[in-house]
Amino acid sequence: ITDPEAELGLYKVPVKLSYRDTNGDNFSSTNYIGILVASTPEVYASLDESEITKAGTSGKVSVKFVNKGISDIKFLDVKLEQSDDYDLLSADEVYIGNIDSDDYETVDFKLFVKPTDKRFIDLPLTYSYRDANNKLFEEKQVLKLRLYSEEELKKYGFVKEKSFSGLLIVAVVLIAGYFVWRRFRKRK
């Protein structure tokens, strides 16, 4: 059983072997064996935030990479694959680097979502990283970007409904100004 506080890595452990042969002579030998203390990284991506709320618009999409495992990861490289649903307006590949255990990093992509009737579009990601023992991992994950209709945007408060109160105030001020001007002109 490994000590929970042990750092991940390769440890050299001395093994001393003492024995006696059939003639009664004593022998002793010391060798080293390697013990690998390792843990499989637990990394996942999630959609952190998006400026894009409907089709036919562009904006920034932030993807969060979380390392919820007990080992640190290093050399994290992320690629957003091409899709017929959007045009990529930023670099398709971003190097993040290291993420400590129980930590996260975010990466931003700028997209133009093409006009569509779909409620969700797929954001296919490929990312690779190495664990503390330099073992390479490559994962593919598809995130879903939610697109809203005009009615949903109003319902959820993304878009304010057009208000005539501003126009009404301007009209009242203009009418009042006209009457004040007319009254002032009659006095002269």
pLDDT tens digit string along 124-172? 999 999 998 899 999 999 999 999 998 888 888 877 666 667 778 888 8
Please tell me the predicted confidence (pLDDT) of residue 35: 85
Domain boundaries, the chain: 43-155
Please tell me the predicted confidence (pLDDT) of residue 153: 87
Please tell me the predicted confidence (pLDDT) of residue 37: 81
Please tell me the predicted confidence (pLDDT) of residue 160: 66
The answer to whether residues 129 and 74 touch, using CB atoms and an 8 Å cutoff, is yes
Verdict on whether the full-model pTM lies above 0.75: no
Output 148-156 pairs: Cβ under 8 A, ≥24 positions apart: 148/53, 148/54, 149/54, 150/54, 153/53, 153/54
Q: Which DSSP string corresponds to 91-133? A: -SEEEEEEE-TTEEEEEEEEEEEPP-S-SEEEEEEEEEEE-TT
Record: fold of 43-155 = Immunoglobulin-like (2.60.40)
Q: How far apart are CA 33 and CA 14, in angstroms?
A: 7
Please tell me the predicted confidence (pLDDT) of residue 163: 64
Q: Write out residues in the chain with pLDDT < 70, as ranges.
A: 160-164, 188
Q: How far apart are CA 148 and CA 166, in angstroms?
A: 27
Q: How far apart are CA 48 and CA 61, in angstroms?
A: 8
Radius of gyration (C-alpha) of the chain in whole angstroms: 32
